[in-house]
Amino acid sequence: MPDPYDQGKIWAFHQNEGVDSFSEAAPRLEGLARRVFRLARQRGMSNPAVLNIGVGNGYFEELVLRYGGVAYAVDPDVRAVARLVSKGVIGYAARIGQLPLSDRSLDFVVVSEVLEHLDDQERELGLIEMGRILKPGGYVLGTVPYREDLRHNVAVCPCCGNVFHRWGHKKSFDLPDIELLLDRYFRVETVTRTTFISHRSAPKFLKSVARLILAKMGEPIAVPSIYFVARKDLADRRRNQPRK
């Protein structure tokens, strides 16, 4: 399957005119925010600096501000970043392989539903950059789709005939893939199958619990994600190079 000509066009649409497409991501973003701030409390951090890579509808950044953190955002789309900056987020229009942040300046990096959009070189550069900007002992948290069959979301442009993945995904991951990838740069703490459930109403919660159980089992009907947590060495030995 050929790569899409320009993923920027896909995400410029979804993050602006089609921003409602992210509405179902709320439980995942809320779950990630809770886990970030749980770790922050355990480490005695009162206002952690948290970077989200790939802003979507900006809900995660809003949660960081609501919980008392300092919210950073990086995304290639200028309009989406400008919208967040107007709300008090420190935002940069940039790509994951060239993060415009200082060395050892952040406590957390969240990279949720992003790594599957990158080719191998972009992914490696992104991990190196995340390691560079994290403080020693800082965390990377994120998700990717679990064992996604990329063929199921292939589309064709009726104008030019270009065949592409409708969400711009380039790679499918299993649990060992993520563990090996992260272990080159960080201390892996968690790699597991899961889904993120809504707690907003009792009927929806019960359905969500059933989905969570199926996701833990890896059943495709539950659309499971791989959830991961990794930590940068306190000694900062892996700042600019992979682990041997």
Contact 59, 33 (CB under 8 A): no
Contact 180, 242 (CB under 8 A): no
Q: Domain range holding 136?
A: 7-231
Domains held by the chain: number = 1
Question: Could you read off the pLDDT tens digit of each residue along the chain, which spans 244 residues?
Answer: 444 446 677 778 778 777 787 888 999 999 999 999 999 999 999 999 999 999 999 999 999 999 999 999 999 999 999 999 999 999 999 999 999 999 999 999 999 999 999 999 999 999 999 999 999 999 999 999 999 998 888 888 888 888 888 878 999 999 999 999 999 999 999 999 998 877 654 455 555 554 555 555 565 545 789 999 999 998 765 544 555 4
Residue 156 lies in a domain: yes
Task: Kindly report the CATH number assigned to the domain that includes residue 23.
Answer: 3.40.50.150
Residue 241 lies in a domain: no
> How far, CA to CA in Å, does 202 sit from each of 35, 199, 205?
22, 7, 5
Instruction: Give the separation between CA 107 and CA 45, rounded to whole angstroms.
Output: 9
Tokens (6 digits) for 100 = 């415009």
DSSP per position, 94-122: --TTS--S-TT-EEEEEEES-GGGS-HHH
